[in-house]
Every structure is written in structure tokens, then in C-alpha cells.
Amino acid sequence: MMATRLALITGGTDGIGKATARRLLADGWEVVVTGRSRDKSEATVAELQAELPTAKVSVLVGDLSVMGGVQRVAEEFLASHERLDLLLLNANSITQQHTRTSEGFEANFAVGYLGRVLLTWALEDVLRRTAGSQVLTVVGLNLERIDFEDPSTPNGFSSMKALGRWQWAMQVFAREWNRRVPVPMNVYMPGLVRTKILASEPQPMRLVVQIANAIVGVSVQKAGDELAFVAEQLRADRVKDAYYARTKRKPARNLRELPGDGARLWDLSERLLVDARQKGPTPGRAGAPP
């Protein structure tokens, strides 16, 4: 008998993450979601179970902008699960002012990039052990090359630049991961979705987004359904190192990488995360050849 497929969805208590969880649960998956607020997390699980009484859904509570929180989530997951078919890296928030976390990282870069990388490394072994597993990371359109000397730099800071920096880094990292690790990592862009992620943007950007959403934005549940559809297609076709926009595979994005950027970013990430990895569960084999 085939084992029930299992997905871990970060940022799964709201927006696209929650909608994707709902779709996967309806399709017979087991789903674990992460959330920062225990009350909201438990309410999400209760809501999904009320809608789908036979669904197997649970939650891990942790702040994924704090690397200690990321490691605790990974540790709790590994303590109770022996497989992982889909790691959906979706957690995101936008901090308008230049803010450093308690660990010294710029807040947007911490949750959008470092937290995703650390969680992927922490779960690498279970991903390798699960036949047909994959990692799917959700991004937007913004791209801004990071400052390798100081990725948390306040120079010329804006929330949109910060968003672009972690999204550039995440996509460069995905390419490097695919060169080093046999588990596929693909990139997904959901398009303009009617979520609240840009609701705190200053004017006139907020108004522009509201107008665009009214004209071409898609509903949160449609976005979740599309994301689940793509995840299934990627798994069935064993696609690796692909970029999808909604339900269509697109040509590789021009990230304007310089030679060696992937290896340089990998090394930088290892240096930034070395303390967190030493304090967390037994490290996987990130960087080991396939």
C-alpha cells in the first residue's frame, strides 16, 4: 500500500499557504503547516478539520525569522515524521523599516531567505530518504542583487529592495542546490494574488496594488489550487531547477548572476547559519555530492 504523501508548508496559517494546504488535504495528502501564533495556528487546524473531517493536518508553531525558531520547527518535525514528500517554502512577511532580528539579520532577509535555507538544510536527510520528494519555493517578481559583504546593509534600504534581495538570493541558491543535491528544488511565482501581504505598503504603491488586484488578481484559493497542481506535475515529471509562473513552466529567469555567485552565496549562507546549525538537530549533508 502506498504511503500517504506528506507536505510541510511554511506560512500555512494564512493566504496561499493555507489555501494550498486545503487543496492538498482534499487530495488525500497529510499536511503539516507552520505558523508564528499558537492561537491562529490551532484555529487554522480546527477550520481545516471542520471542512475536511477525515483530513490529517497538524501544526508546528515557530517564528521562522529567528533561526532558533527554524531549528525548533525542524526538530519537532523530525521527531514525529519519517518522510517528507513536499517542502513548500512559502513563509514571508514585509518589514517596512530597516530592522535587525535578535540574531542580527535584516528582518526580510531572515524570514525570506535564511529561514528557508536553514529549514531546507535541516530537513535534507529526510528529503533524500523520501522517494520522489521535492522542494518548492514561492517567490515574486522583484529581483535585487545582495551585497555579499553585508547582506543586512541599511544602505539605500526600502521594503521593495529588501524583498528583491532575498528573492534574488533564494533563486540563486535554488540553482546551486540543484547542482549539489539530488532532491529537486523548483521556483514558483503565483502571480498577483489577493492576499494582505502588501497591505502595509506605503502609498502610492498600496493603491497601485489594490487597483491591479481588482483587475487581474486571483483569489487566494485559486492560487492555492494552482500551486498544488504544479507541485503534482513537478513530482510526476521529476522536474528539477524549473521556474513556474502560475500553472505554466517559463524560461529560466535572468538573475544577472556573475560567475561563481552560486558557490559564493552557498558559502555565505553556511557562515551566517553556522551557529544555528550547530545548535539544531543533527545536520544533514548539505553540500555533499549526489
Asked if residue 128 lies in contact with residue 183, where contact means CB atoms within 8 angstroms, the answer is: yes
**Residue 55: what residue type?**
A
Angle subtended at Cα 111 by Cα 107 and Cα 117, rounded to the nearest 5 degrees: 130
Residue 8 has pLDDT above 80, yes or no: yes
| Three-state DSSP state, 225 | helix
Is 196's pLDDT higher than 70?
no
In the predicted model, is pLDDT for residue 194 greater than 80?
no
CA atoms within 13 A on the CB side of 35: 20
* CB-based contact 139:173 (threshold 8 Å): no
What DSSP string runs through 173-186?
A: HHHHHHHH-SS-EE
- What is the rounded average pLDDT of the residues 85-106? 91
CA 105 to chain centre: 18
pLDDT number for residue 278:
82
As a whole number of Å, the CA-based R_g of the chain is: 18
Of residues 112, 159, 160, the one with CA closest to residue 137? 112
pLDDT band of 217, cuts 50, 70, 90: low
Statement: residue 25 has pLDDT above 50: yes
Give pLDDT, residue 160.
86
Give CA–CA dist 239/260, Å, rounded.
24
Give the DSSP letter string of 68-132: HHHHHHHHHHHHH-S--SEEEE------SS--B-TTS-BHHHIIIIIHHHHHHHHTHHHHHHSTT
For position 280, what pLDDT does the model report? 62
Query: Structural domains in the chain?
Result: 6-191+220-279 (3.40.50.720)
pTM for this predicted structure: 0.88
Percentage of the chain beyond pLDDT 90 is 73
- pLDDT reading at 211 higher than 60: no
